[in-house]
A and B are shown apart, each in its own frame.
Chain A
Amino acid sequence: MSPAPIRAAFAQAFREAWAGGAGVLLPASFFAGAAMLVPFAVGSDSDQLAAIGGGVLWVALALASLVTMERLFQADLEDGALDLWVQADVPMSAIAAAKVAAHWLVSGLPLALLSPLLGLMLQMEPDRLPPAMLAYGIGGLAFFLWGAFGAALSATVRRGGLLIALIALPFYVPTAIFGAMSLQAEVPMPLIETLFLSAATLFSMAVAPFGIAAALRLATD
Chain B
Amino acid sequence: MNDENLISANGLGMIRGARVLFGEVSLFAKPGEAIVLRGSNGAGKTTLLRILAGLTQPAAGDVTRAAEVHWLGHRDGLKPHESPVEHLSLWARAWGGGATDPVIERMGLTRPKDVPAALLSAGQRRRTALGRLLLVDRPVWLLDEPFSALDTNGRDLLLELIAGHRASGGAVIAAIHGEAGFTASREVVL
Question: Taking beta carbons and an 8 Å cutoff, which residues of A are in contact with B?
Answer: 2, 4-5, 7-9, 11-12, 15-16, 19-20, 75, 78-81, 83-84, 86-89, 220-221
Contacts and interface: CB of A to CB of B under 8 A. Distances in A.
Interface residues of B, number: 24
A81 B81 contact: no
A89 B74 CA distance: 22
Given A220-B55, A221-B56, A83 B77 contact: yes
B182 interface: no
B46 to A, nearest CB: 11
A2 B96 contact: yes
A9 B55 contact: no
A84 B77 CA distance: 8
A86 B73 CA distance: 13
B95 A12 contact: no
A53 B93 CA distance: 46
B54 interface: yes
B93 A4 contact: yes
A12 B79 contact: yes
A139 B55 CA distance: 35
Contacts of A4: 93-94, 96
Kindly name the residue among A16, A75, A80, A84 whose own CB sees the greatest number of chain B CB atoms within 10 A: A84
21 contacts: A4-B96, A5-B93, A8-B90, A15-B81, A15-B82, A19-B79, A19-B80, A20-B81, A79-B79, A80-B76, A80-B77, A81-B77, A83-B55, A83-B75, A83-B77, A84-B71, A84-B77, A84-B132, A88-B94, A221-B56, A221-B57
Contacts of B90: 8, 11-12
Interface string B83-99: 00000001101111000
B54 to A, nearest CB: 7
Nearest to B78: A79
A23 to B, nearest CB: 12
Contacts of A221: 55-57
A79 B91 CA distance: 15
Nearest to A87: B71
Nearest to B57: A221
Interface of A is mostly: helix
B63 interface: no
Interface string B104-143: 0000000000000000000000000000100000000000
Nearest to A5: B94
B65 to A, nearest CB: 11
Interface of B: 53-57, 69, 71, 73-82, 90-91, 93-96, 132
Nearest to A85: B94
Nearest to A82: B77
Given A4-B93, A8-B93, A87 B54 contact: yes
A8 to B, nearest CB: 4
A88 B53 CA distance: 12
Contacts of A11: 90
Contacts of A80: 73-77
Nearest to B92: A8
Task: Report the 4 A-B pairs with minimum CB-CB distance, sorted nearest first.
Answer: A80-B75, A8-B94, A80-B77, A5-B94
B95 A5 contact: yes
A190 to B, nearest CB: 44
A79 B77 CA distance: 5
A215 to B, nearest CB: 15
B130 to A, nearest CB: 13
B81 A86 contact: no
